[in-house]
Amino acid sequence: MSNAYPSAPSAYEFPLLIKQLLNRAKTVSLDQEIVYADKKRLTYAELFTRINRLANVLANLNLAAGDVVAVMDWDSHRYLESYFAVPMSQYILQTVNVRLSPDKVLYTINHAKPKVLMLNSEFAELVKNYQFENSSIEHIIWLDDNDMTVEGVFGDNQSRVVGEYEALLDSADSSFDFPDFDENTIATTFYTSGTTGDPKGVFFSHRQLVLHSLAEAASLGMLPNKQGVSYGDVYMPMTPMFHVHAWGFPFTATMTGLKQVYPGRYAPDTLLDLIINEKVSITHCVPTILQMVLKEAQDRNASFNGLKMIIGGSSLNEGLAKAALAQDIEVYTGYGMSETAPLISLTDFSVDEPEMTEEEDISRRCMTGKPVLMVDAQIWSENNQSMDTGKDNTGELVLRAPWLTQSYLKNHDAGIELWEHGYMHTQDIAYMRPDGYINITDRLKDVIKSGGEWISSLEIETILSLHPAVSDVAVIGIRDKQWGERPLALVALKPDCQDTSAEDIKAIAKQAVSKGIIPKYGVPSEFKFVDELPKTSVGKHDKKVMREMYGNQTEV
Amino acid sequence: MSNAYPSAPSAYEFPLLIKQLLNRAKTVSLDQEIVYADKKRLTYAELFTRINRLANVLANLNLAAGDVVAVMDWDSHRYLESYFAVPMSQYILQTVNVRLSPDKVLYTINHAKPKVLMLNSEFAELVKNYQFENSSIEHIIWLDDNDMTVEGVFGDNQSRVVGEYEALLDSADSSFDFPDFDENTIATTFYTSGTTGDPKGVFFSHRQLVLHSLAEAASLGMLPNKQGVSYGDVYMPMTPMFHVHAWGFPFTATMTGLKQVYPGRYAPDTLLDLIINEKVSITHCVPTILQMVLKEAQDRNASFNGLKMIIGGSSLNEGLAKAALAQDIEVYTGYGMSETAPLISLTDFSVDEPEMTEEEDISRRCMTGKPVLMVDAQIWSENNQSMDTGKDNTGELVLRAPWLTQSYLKNHDAGIELWEHGYMHTQDIAYMRPDGYINITDRLKDVIKSGGEWISSLEIETILSLHPAVSDVAVIGIRDKQWGERPLALVALKPDCQDTSAEDIKAIAKQAVSKGIIPKYGVPSEFKFVDELPKTSVGKHDKKVMREMYGNQTEV
């Protein structure tokens, strides 16, 4: 600060620390509820006390500032408590992706080197042997909903187990004075579920998460009540808390004092029960989870009563969007990735909406959305020049925002690549419309290059998804002597449409060609019917596996 | 940041600079409109170009970083342009309160020492002589809507006048590359219109204003559409742009890409015309302005169509709130002060409202509101201890927030007092309800001490305002031999109720005693009828003047 404007000596500079997110809720939301499935209900007043208790439990473990505390749990109030108590104590929260293969789970733990592991008993088998090797883990806190005892899992070898979570909290002091420290202190770390190579660690500071929370509250608050978030909404995650801070909502919902519902392990019947019984009004998930709950509600003949649902992690296709709207879900798109904390863009809605057809409405809900507040999103050409709007200016989406990982954990080279030329490279291929909508047409590595032209696998998938017999579809590039690459469509048919032919599906792509929506060379050369498409741990299409399975064996 | 988590060398740290507020609007709001009364309409695309042009005009004046650029103008697109171009060029924007007495206006200019003055021709007389004395002002930019020429005002002595604003912009280059710099750089300064002593200067950094904008967007976004702000709303200030950044809305509305309307000099007919013709949906003002526009609409038999209006600067009484609601204004309270940038608290609304009576609804709209996001608001006892909730725990409201002035400009002693014990002292006497509502009962210096008990002048005013004959009322303490002080009520009656007696007004206070709302000693000992109550430059009751006029002459 310039010398002409000195601060008073005792003026408070207000570092952007996660504890500051609680200021309003501590005054106005003490009676608000937090629900853990059918297992526990607590008030915010109790949450704040429990955060203090957890901090005291951790303080007894003689950790140093910057030590990592890992959590392996389903979505629970315990997880929420760790979101606050761990970073507010100046430790780093590692949210372990328990959906990865056991090898990769252990890889991420070996890489981040947590000293403490908060372990749900259901994952004990997974780390049972690991804990007795050259482990960084000095202390295990036992989380349990199933009366599984430590003895039952670890036998005599339980010296690292500090105790059971609830018992530890009960015996800990209920007050804790969280200190101030540098707002650039790292608060969280987790790993991309990247479809190629080893998972990469990303990390976020207190400042970044506070700014993400404020911008998320502002960006969702600015949407009309029907789609956005307001005081009085009820939040439940359907993207797990180990996946990119569950979109940052546990921080944002606590800051704004919303009622929160944590569903434990995701099962369609539990999710739907909670949505109905707890009057959940805002959630977010991948398309796979949406499909699951739609089916569950159909079976029960239940309605979603205007549940607001942001789809992210994988693109929402128009067929699925239409089905969700028909079942009274206000579905739309949010875009982000592990590297972006994650919120980058959202579908736009206004209290003063222009007239639009149903097709236009569905189409905008399936685009990548408009950048949220503070985000500087640009489309760059191959020589790193910012390009104008319009489909002809398709290139890589690059970003600046106050909440992007500043590198990869212990992987400096990948960090340098991520931030080449001062913008974060998403590796997503997109164009920007003049009205500010980003439209991602493909992943950099999923683009199909046919005869010198780029074919967007995503665009072809969207069109094929509109065929009434299709339940899921993916398009990948396969080697082709003449064209270099040609698109192959992998199609899963609905159970009662198993006799549909490839020609039948192809017809809808040809129709799109005749209407000028896609080029002629975008019609897949081949269609393969499969029972199920390979998916990653977070429910995305696993195109790496698809290419391994189908890409190299076929020559068209 | 800890060494274990190094940033990539070219990772962008994202300083919180005012220019970053424009990121989203530059992509999605280019066609949105900005209206200056009946004088000019421009798009955001034009706004951004004009900001660049103004920056180029200023760059030609050989200023140094940290130099002050003062503005004397009514609310206009020019003022909006200066809100961005001046701080984004690393100069400091001084928003001169043109409603102060000429002496005080000159005092604030002499004190802040601007090098450039953007001067509306209507204020030229005021500074005409001043500019030729020992002035810091090296350059005057001439703002004019009335075809007043520089020659007409300054005669031959116009060497400091750089040119007319529009002509200067026209001849300036339309692109400007705003640099990055330290986010703690001071962006704005202005002066309290304090009722005692010389005006005091406050100042705010880029970081503070960015955080204020985000928290304001989030806090108003979280309110339901009916009261809050959403994409699609139309904003117009009715608190002037020289007064605490017009509540920060010009920054917030531009960040969120709202249509904005700037009304020039405030006149009831112009304000109402713009509200109706431009479909203004969100505004803010002091009670005096609300009274003016209510009367104007009554005269015209016009409706406000649910206009959302935040009242601040002076407390909203229940009689006025009721009248505004009856004319279809969604009126409620925001609280803040010059020292707080200003937003601190807002009336709370929810999409899931509890049942309440009309009285309860009006009552909450007139309280000080609940703290907004990130604000740490406490009630302190006289020995600086944080107190519990409840009316029995009335004390001084003290604050921490990311956007509080860190001292007073060139007044270190007052800054130390402001920040005693690490919290900012508001000098407002308040209590906090268990549900988080702050209720300010008085200014520290306006409290009436009668027989060892504190009487809240505000509380008595609220009750008297409910009498149908009362148009305005203030209660002050006057010396009393027996009790030390006793309350005197100064009452302005409505034109058609001039024959109302003091006993008649007193009856409503006695009724409040019988219902246990106020103590018996709270009933004013004396009532004086006046034509008009003394007001400050920003329309607040001027109790200092009232005490001078009435406080010391009477012994009850």
Please name the residue ranges forming H helices in B342-450.
Answer: 358-366, 412-418
Size of interface A-B (CB pairs under 8 A): 265
The residues that bridge with A535 in the sheet, in sequence order, are A541
Per-residue confidence band for A355, with pLDDT thresholds at 50, 70 and 90: very high
Number of separate helices (H) and strands (E) present in chain A: 17, 25
Q: Of B203, B237, B257, which marks where a domain is finished?
A: B203
In this complex, the residue of A10, A184, A214 whose CB is nearest that of residue B373 is A214
Q: Given its phi and psi angles, is residue A9 left (phi above 0), alpha (psi -120 to 50 degrees) or beta?
A: alpha
For chain A, what is the mean pLDDT? 92
Kindly state whether residue A130 falls inside one of the protein's structural domains: yes
Cα distance between residue A42 and residue A38, in whole Å: 12
Q: Is residue B173 a contact partner of residue B52, using CB atoms and an 8 Å limit?
A: yes
Kindly state whether residue A259 falls inside one of the protein's structural domains: no
Q: Which of A188, A192, A333, A368 is catalytic?
A: A192
The DSSP line for A110-155 is: HHH--SEEEEEGGGHHHHHTGGGSS-S--EEEEE-SS---HHHHHT
In this complex, the residue of A10, A21, A182 whose CB is nearest that of residue B420 is A10
- Based on the structure, what is the number of domains in chain A? 2
Q: Which amino acid is at A41?
A: R
**Contact yes or no for A229 and B222 at CB 8 A:** yes
| Residue B409: exposure state from Cβ atoms within 10 A (0-12, 13-18, ≥19) | buried
- The interface predicted TM-score (ipTM) is 0.88
A519 cis-preceded (ω within 30 degrees of 0): no
The DSSP line for B487-507 is: EEEEEEEPGGGTT--HHHHHH
| Residues 6+ positions from B297 with CB-CB distance below 8 Å | B272, B303, B304, B327
How close does chain A come to B341, measured CA to CA in Å?
15
Greatest Cα pair distance, chain A, in angstroms, is 79
Which of B92, B158, B93, B166 is closest to B131 using CA atoms? B158
Kindly state whether residue A455 falls inside one of the protein's structural domains: yes
Kindly state whether residue B491 falls inside one of the protein's structural domains: yes
| Structural domain boundaries, residue A143 | 44-203
> CA torsion angle for A193, A194, A199, A205 (degrees, to 10)?
-70
Quote the pLDDT of residue B195. 54
**Contact yes or no for B16 and A402 at CB 8 A:** yes
Quote the pLDDT of residue B556. 39
Q: List pLDDT tens digits, range A202-259.
A: 999 999 999 999 999 999 999 999 999 999 999 999 999 999 999 999 999 999 999 9
Q: Which residue has the tokens 């969120």?
A: B256
The residues that bridge with A260 in the sheet, in sequence order, are A34, A235
- B-chain residue closest to A234, CA distance: B352
Q: Is residue A464 a contact partner of residue A523, using CB atoms and an 8 Å limit?
A: no
Which of B297, B301, B333, B291 is closest to B316 using CA atoms? B333
Is the pLDDT score of A479 beyond 90? Answer: no
| Residues 6+ positions from B512 with CB-CB distance below 8 Å | B463, B518, B522
Kindly state whether residue A267 falls inside one of the protein's structural domains: no
Which of B173, B81, B63, B65 is closest to B118 using CA atoms? B81
Q: Calculate ∠ Cα A175-A176-A178, nearest 5°.
A: 150
CATH, residue B455 = 3.30.300.30
Catalytic residues of B: 192, 339, 449, 454
In this complex, the residue of B184, B222, B404 whose CB is nearest that of residue A221 is B222
The percent of residues above 70 in pLDDT, for chain A, comes to 96
Quote the pLDDT of residue A554. 45
Quote the pLDDT of residue B296. 97
Q: Which of A16, A44, A231, A332 to mutate to test the interface with B (most CBs of B within 10 A)?
A: A231
What does DSSP say about strands A307-311 and A329-335: parallel, antiparallel, or unpaired?
parallel
How close does chain B come to A84, measured CA to CA in Å?
15
Please name the residue ranges forming H helices in A367-419.
Answer: 412-418
Active site residue A192: yes
Q: Which residue has the tokens 């199920």?
A: A532
Q: How many CB atoms lie within 10 A of CB B275?
A: 26
* Residue environment code for A32-45, b if the CB has 16+ CB neighbours within 10 A, otherwise e: bbbbbbeeeebebe
Q: Which amino acid is at B64?
A: A
Cα distance between residue A407 and residue B402, in whole Å: 27
Active site residue A454: yes
CA–CA distance from A10 to each of A3, A236, B444 (Å)?
17, 41, 22
Please name the residue ranges forming H helices in B227-342.
Answer: 249-256, 268-277, 287-300, 318-326
| Residues 6+ positions from B60 with CB-CB distance below 8 Å | B172
pLDDT in tens, chain B (556 residues): 446 799 999 999 999 999 999 999 999 999 999 999 999 999 999 999 999 999 999 999 999 999 999 999 999 999 999 999 999 999 999 999 998 888 888 899 999 999 999 999 999 888 776 655 568 899 999 999 999 888 767 766 678 899 999 999 999 999 999 999 999 999 999 998 755 568 899 999 999 999 999 999 999 999 999 999 999 999 999 999 999 999 999 999 999 999 999 999 999 999 999 999 999 999 999 998 999 999 999 999 999 999 999 999 888 999 999 999 999 999 999 999 999 999 999 999 999 998 999 999 999 999 999 999 999 999 999 889 999 999 999 999 999 999 999 999 999 999 999 999 999 999 999 999 999 999 998 777 777 878 767 788 888 898 898 899 999 999 998 888 888 889 999 999 999 999 999 999 999 999 888 887 788 888 999 999 999 999 887 678 888 889 888 876 544 3
* Residue environment code for A314-345, b if the CB has 16+ CB neighbours within 10 A, otherwise e: bbbbbbbbbbbbebebbbbbbbbbbbbbbbbb
Q: Is residue B371 a contact partner of residue B215, using CB atoms and an 8 Å limit?
A: no
Tell me how far the alpha carbon of residue A173 is from its chain's centroid. Answer: 34
In this complex, the residue of A6, A11, A349 whose CB is nearest that of residue B231 is A349
Q: How many CB atoms lie within 10 A of CB B368?
A: 27
Q: Is residue B345 a contact partner of residue B372, using CB atoms and an 8 Å limit?
A: yes
In this complex, the residue of B225, B372, B422 whose CB is nearest that of residue A10 is B422
pTM exceeding 0.90: no
Q: Of B151, B179, B203, which marks where a domain is finished?
A: B203
Kindly state whether residue A489 falls inside one of the protein's structural domains: yes
| Residues 6+ positions from B498 with CB-CB distance below 8 Å | none
Q: Which residue has the tokens 């390979």?
A: A534
Q: List pLDDT tens digits, range A268-303.
A: 999 999 999 999 999 999 998 999 999 999 999 999
Cα distance between residue B190 and residue A372, in whole Å: 31
Q: Report chain A residues whose CB lies below 8 A from the CB of B186.
A: 1-2, 4-5
Tokens describing residue A36? 């853990």
**Contact yes or no for A370 and B8 at CB 8 A:** no
Per-residue confidence band for A537, with pLDDT thresholds at 50, 70 and 90: confident
**Contact yes or no for A350 and B214 at CB 8 A:** no
Tokens describing residue A333? 């798109």
Is the pLDDT score of A1 beyond 60? Answer: no
| Orientation angle between helical segments A249-256 and A206-221, nearest 10 degrees | 70
CA–CA distance from A352 to each of A368, B259, B331 (Å)?
21, 11, 21
Secondary structure E strands in B313-436? 329-335, 345-346, 370-371, 376-380, 395-400, 424-432
| Residues 6+ positions from B186 with CB-CB distance below 8 Å | A1, A2, A4, A5, B66, B92, B203, B204, B205
**B101 vs A464, higher pLDDT:** A464
- B-chain residue closest to A181, CA distance: B1
* Residue environment code for B37-57, b if the CB has 16+ CB neighbours within 10 A, otherwise e: beeeebebebbbbbbbbbbbb
Tokens describing residue A175? 């007050």
Q: Is residue A201 a contact partner of residue A542, using CB atoms and an 8 Å limit?
A: no
Q: How many CB atoms lie within 10 A of CB A137?
A: 19
Q: List pLDDT tens digits, range A138-185.
A: 999 999 999 988 877 776 667 889 999 999 999 999 999 999 999 999
Q: Which of A122, A183, A296, A339 is catalytic?
A: A339
- B-chain residue closest to A369, CA distance: B28
CATH, residue B56 = 3.40.50.12780
Q: List pLDDT tens digits, range A392-412.
A: 999 999 999 999 999 999 999
* Residue environment code for B370-390, b if the CB has 16+ CB neighbours within 10 A, otherwise e: bbbbbbbbbbbeeeeeebebe
The percent of residues above 90 in pLDDT, for chain A, comes to 76
**Contact yes or no for B184 and A27 at CB 8 A:** no
What is the H or E stretch that residue A528 is in?
A: strand A526-529
* SS3 (DSSP) at A307: strand
Q: Is residue A94 a contact partner of residue A189, using CB atoms and an 8 Å limit?
A: yes
| Orientation angle between helical segments A502-514 and A457-465, nearest 10 degrees | 110
> CA torsion angle for A541, A542, A548, A551 (degrees, to 10)?
30
Quote the pLDDT of residue B10. 96
Taken in order A275, A276, A280, A281, the sign of the CA dihedral is: positive
Q: Is residue A321 a contact partner of residue A362, using CB atoms and an 8 Å limit?
A: yes
Q: Is residue B250 a contact partner of residue B260, using CB atoms and an 8 Å limit?
A: yes
Quote the pLDDT of residue B520. 86
- B-chain residue closest to A188, CA distance: B5
Quote the pLDDT of residue B554. 45
Which of B333, B334, B336 is closest to B366 using CA atoms? B333
B114 cis-preceded (ω within 30 degrees of 0): no
| Residues 6+ positions from B120 with CB-CB distance below 8 Å | B72, B73, B74, B143, B144, B145
Kindly state whether residue A432 falls inside one of the protein's structural domains: no
Q: How many CB atoms lie within 10 A of CB B146?
A: 7
Q: Of A203, A234, A265, which marks where a domain is finished?
A: A203
Quote the pLDDT of residue B133. 57
